[in-house]
Amino acid sequence: MTVVGERRPAGPVTSKATERVGDGRAAVRYLLPAGVLLLAVLAYPLYQLVQISLYDYNQPQASGAAPLRFLGLDNYGELLGDPQFWSVLLATVVFAAVCVAGSLLVGTALAVVASRARPIPRAMLFLAALGAWATPAMAGSYVWLFLFDADLGLVNEVLSGLGFTGMEGHSWMYQRYSAFAVVALEIIWCSFPFVMVTMYAGIKGIPAEVIDAAQLDGASWRRIATQIILPMLRPLIVIATIQSIIWDFKVFTQIYVMTNGGGVAGRNLVLNVYAYQKAFAGEEYGMGAAIGVVMTALLLMITVLYLRAQQKAGWSA
């Protein structure tokens, strides 16, 4: 019986707190070498990017023909006051969201198929996925451009053969949304293997006894997938989602190659291509650096907000 006012022994609580501190110190020791390497590789370029964004840095300044002029936050003010920047930002967010969702859905679905397939079909599926993963972005972009070519493309030929005569000679890359759709398909095609391999490893790591027990209790595969498999895969889903957000938000090669530099009248611009046009085509290096800083800040903010949302929902990574 516990007497009122009597304190209970704090031994187990202290032990758990000590274990957490020990685990945290061990995690810091393991992550420290990678952190030092990342800091050494990224710190100076980020510093230079921020520094250039604060100056009037154009071609005359780059060639030494004119002195640098400190602008402070003027480049950021001009950027945030430009309607084109907000239009490009919205297009980038929507485009990246579609690519992330598509990569996660396709990769997870194929991971489930691979986990239930026989060895030979599973090996063929993984070889095909790794082939897509290993294809260089430039080569993959031209392959997809050829598939959707207006005159020689396989897609138009198949659709015309199925009775869609209006698709004969159709230019997919001329219209804004169809061009974005084709580029999104190419990015999903080259991105889903990472999600697939990650989810497959997570599925194979789930103890078979857990699934067998659920089946003995009469649970359907739908309930097993939604109430057992997905909750156990949530840490991997968080990692795959963050990686996909970072990759798809800063897409450059596919958009630049497949839309010929951002589409007709810049209708298919995303932030990375917009920054390239400002910095190199327009020779406004300070403005291009400002766009790069804004992109970095947005990615960090999105990642932090996503992690906090998952922690509140119990999706601890």
- Helix-then-strand count for the chain, H and E: 14, 2
The per-residue pLDDT for range 78-89, each reduced to its tens digit, is: 999 989 999 999
pTM for this entry: 0.81
> Residue 102: what are its φ and ψ, rounded to 5°?
-65, -45
The pairing of beta strand 55-56 with beta strand 69-70: antiparallel
Q: Can you say whether residue 262 is alpha, beta or left, with left for phi > 0 and alpha for psi between -120 and 50 degrees?
A: left
Q: 38-293 is classed in which CATH architecture?
A: Orthogonal Bundle (1.10)
The per-residue pLDDT for range 199-239, each reduced to its tens digit, is: 998 888 888 888 888 888 877 777 877 788 888 888 888 88
Q: What is the pLDDT of residue 2?
A: 47
Mean pLDDT by 10 residues, the chain (317 residues): 49 58 75 83 86 86 78 89 91 93 92 88 91 90 92 88 83 90 94 92 85 80 80 86 88 91 84 89 87 90 79 55
Contact 283, 63 (CB under 8 A): no
* Span between the terminal Cα atoms of the chain, in Å: 40
Closest CA to 185 of 99, 264, 305, 290: 99
Q: What is the pLDDT of residue 76?
A: 92
Tell me the two tokens of residue 302.
């999105």
Q: What is the pLDDT of residue 312?
A: 67
Q: What is the pLDDT of residue 14?
A: 55
Return the beta strands (E) in the chain as ranges. Answer: 55-56, 69-70
